[in-house]
Amino acid sequence: MIDAHCHLSHPKFDADRHQVIERAKNHLVALFETGGNLEQNQHALELSMSHKKFIYAGVGLAPHYALEADAKKEFEFIERNADHIKAIGEIGLEYHYFAEEQARERQKIIFREQLILAEKIGVPVVIHCREAWDDLLLILKDFPLQKVMLHFFNKHSYLQESLRRGYYISIATLKSKDVDKIIRDAPLNSLLTETDSPYLWQGERNEPSNVRFVYDRISEIKKVPVEQVRQSVMATTSQFFEIVF
């Protein structure tokens, strides 16, 4: 199994990060640590260096930090470490927490710049989107060659358009009716799996080994053996991030 998106640099893991990673190693083939600002990106790189061939790093400037961050510095960091990263992410648009037009415009600029950067250094992108799907899909249209992973995809109404464009659909641990419909209607070979740890969990804290519940869910809804889901997700993840597991 694979966790294609998590945040082990989060302070919630400060006390027992090592144990969480060891637990993950017992169940998973790989996990993808995703940053959103300079501090998190640095941490993601460090984790990937100290757990080679198990933890892989994605770095980026998330929309949550678009207003406050020194974007130039963030982009320099990404370019400088291009050889050590597997994706630019998470990047995208977050409208739920940012209602002001100015903040949203800034997010769009930052997002576009990172799509250009991803094209330049030749890595896939990991997308965060909340209440901004129309704007997001419009911007992505200008970048036809991108390999795009829609992290925690949970809007069934945007599924067909996303599939038509060849985007990868990442199913997270948090259950909903829409996510069930997405699992039902998306082809198995378009699906990736993630926890978004420490988020997207009913309990206190999510962690990568919980990704097994996503596999159970896909197996149940698509009526295919869990082993087949594992094989498929591994092949899709391998193709997406260009990693041989």
Which residues of the shown chain bind Zn ion in the complex (CB under 5 A)? 196
* Of 40 and 146, CB closest to Zn ion: 40
In whole angstroms, the minimum distance from the beta carbon of 5 to Zn ion comes to: 6
Q: To the nearest 10°, the Cα dihedral for 43, 45, 48, 50?
A: -70
Among candidates 20, 18, 52, which has minimal Cα distance to 197? 20
Distance in Å, CB of 151 to Zn ion, minimum: 6
Return the number of the residue (155 or 222) whose C-beta is nearest Zn ion.
155
Question: Cα angle at 203 between 14 and 192, to 5 degrees?
Answer: 80
**Nearer of residues 144 and 203 to Zn ion, judged by Cβ:** 203
Q: Give the residue from 161, 158, 66, 162 showing the smallest Cα distance to 108.
A: 66
| Nearest distance, CB of residue 18 and Zn ion, angstroms | 21
Element (H, E) at 148: strand 148-150
- Least CB distance to Zn ion at residue 231 (A): 25
The nearer residue to Zn ion, 11 or 144, going by C-beta atoms, is: 11
| CB-nearer residue toward Zn ion: 94 or 196 | 196
Whether the CB-CB separation of 182 and 154 falls below 8 Å is answered with yes
Q: CB of 207: closest distance to Zn ion in angstroms? A: 14
Taking CB atoms, the residue at the shortest distance from Zn ion is: 196
Residue 192 and residue 149 in contact, taking contact as beta carbons nearer than 8 Å: yes
